[in-house]
Amino acid sequence: MANANQVSLGRANLSTTTTGYGGSGEKYELYLKLFSGEMFKGFQHETIARDLVTKRTLKNGKSLQFIYTGRMTSSFHTPGTPILGNSDKAPPVAEKTINMDDLLISSAFVYDLDETLAHYELRGEISKKIGYALAEKYDRLIFRAITRGARAASPVSATNFVEPGGTQIRVGSTTNDSDAYNAQNLTAAFFDAAAAMDEKGVSSQGRCAVLNPRQYYSLIQEVGNNGLINRDEQGAGLQSGKGVVSIAGIHIYKSMNIPFLGKYGVAYGGTTGETSPGKLGDFVGTTPENASGATAGINNDYGTNTELGAKSCGLIFQKEAAGVVEAIGPQVQVTNGDVSVIYQGDVILGRMAMGADYLNPAAAVELYVGATAPSAF
C-alpha cells in the first residue's frame, strides 16, 4: 500500500507529456517507481518501531485522539433493584492527543554529469540511504516517547480509580555503567519487567524489548546458561547471530536508535568497560538532539538531551505503550522537466509526516543503571 501511495504521488507531480531528463514523462514514472521501491526497502529494513507500537493513519486533521479507559469493578445483583450503571461513574476515561510534527524529509541532488560518469547505479543507492535516514529519525522519536512513558504516571487519575503508571528497573547493583552489558543482570531485569507488567494488568501479547547491539550479543553468549534457551536456533544461536528469541515471553530486538547512557545506541569508555572499535565517524554513538515541544518542527514532547539523561540502557514494552500517527507514509518525489534542465540534475526527496507519544505508561519499562532512576519529563 505504501508503494502505491508513492507512485500516485509521483504521477500527480509528473506530466506524461513533458519531456525531461533522459526522455518522456513515462520514463520519469518508471524512475519514480524504482526510487520509491529502493527508498521504501531501505526504510523497512532499518525501522523496527513501526510494527511494535500502535499505528494509526491521520486524514483531514492535525492531531489524533486516543481514548484510554480505566478498569471497572463487578458486584452481585440484588433481585428487584434497578441496574443503572456504576454509581462511581466507572470506567474512568482519559484522552491522549498525538499531534503531527512538521514534514520529515531527506533529500539529495544528483548531478547529471556525475551520474553519466559513474560506473554504478547512483540514484537507487541514494534512494535507499534516504530510506535509512527517515527510518532512523522515526525510530528515535518513538523510542524517546516510550522512554517518557516509562517515567510517567497514568493519564487516568480519577478518585478511587488511579491506574498504574510506567516502570523503571535498575540493571545490576553497582554505580558502574558496565552493569548494562552484564547478561545475568539483563536476564534478571527481563523477569522483573515481565512480573511488573503482569501485576499492572498489561497484556502478554506484543511484549518486546529493544537493547543496544552489545547487550544483545552479550545475551547470545549466555544461551544455554541461566535458563536462556533459543528455542528456534538452539546451539546455532551463537554462530548465526540470531540470538535469544525471547526471555519471559518478551521478544528481543537490537537497535542503535534507543537512548543509551546519554548517547544513541552505544557508549564507550568511562565505567562501561566497553572499548571503542575505533574510526567511528560522525554517526556512531551520537548525542541525542533536543526534541521537546519547544524545538522547531516538533509538536509533541520527546524531551531534551538533559531530560533523557545518561543512565537509560534499554526498553521493554508492549504494543499499547506508545502510538504513532502517520499523515503521509514514506514517499519519494523527484524533480523533472524544466527544473532538471535548469539545474542539470534532479533532486530525490524522501518525505513523511508523523507524530508519536506514549499511550499507556503501564505498558512501558525503562532499564537504567546507577542508584537513582531517571526523572520524569
Q: Model confidence over 316-370: pLDDT tens digits?
A: 999 999 999 999 999 988 887 788 888 898 899 999 999 999 999 999 999 999 9
Asked whether residue 17 carries a pLDDT value surpassing 80, the answer given is no
pTM value? 0.86
Report pLDDT for 228: 66
Residue 159's pLDDT band, with cuts at 50, 70 and 90, is confident
User: Look-up: residue for cell 545518561?
Assistant: 310
Identify the pLDDT of residue 45. Answer: 86
How sure is the predictor about 233, in pLDDT bands with cuts at 50, 70 and 90?
Answer: low
Instruction: Let me know how long the chain is.
Output: 377
Ordered DSSP codes for 90-106: PSPEEEEEEEPPSPEEE
Asked if the bond preceding 277 is cis, omega within 30° of 0, the reply is no
Partners of 77 in the beta sheet?
none
Please compute the mean of the pLDDT values over residues 269-286 and round it to a whole number: 91
Catalogue all structural domains in the chain, each as residue range(s) with its CATH number: 2-68+91-368 (3.90.1690)
pLDDT value at residue 1:
39
Shortest CA distance to 164 belongs to which of 177, 155, 176, 173?
A: 155
Q: 149 near 168, Cβ under 8 Å?
A: no
Q: What value does the mean pLDDT take over residues 192-211?
A: 97
pLDDT per residue as tens digits for the range 25-63: 554 554 555 567 788 788 888 999 999 999 999 998 999
Quick one: pLDDT at residue 246?
Answer: 86
Q: What pLDDT is attached to residue 70? A: 82
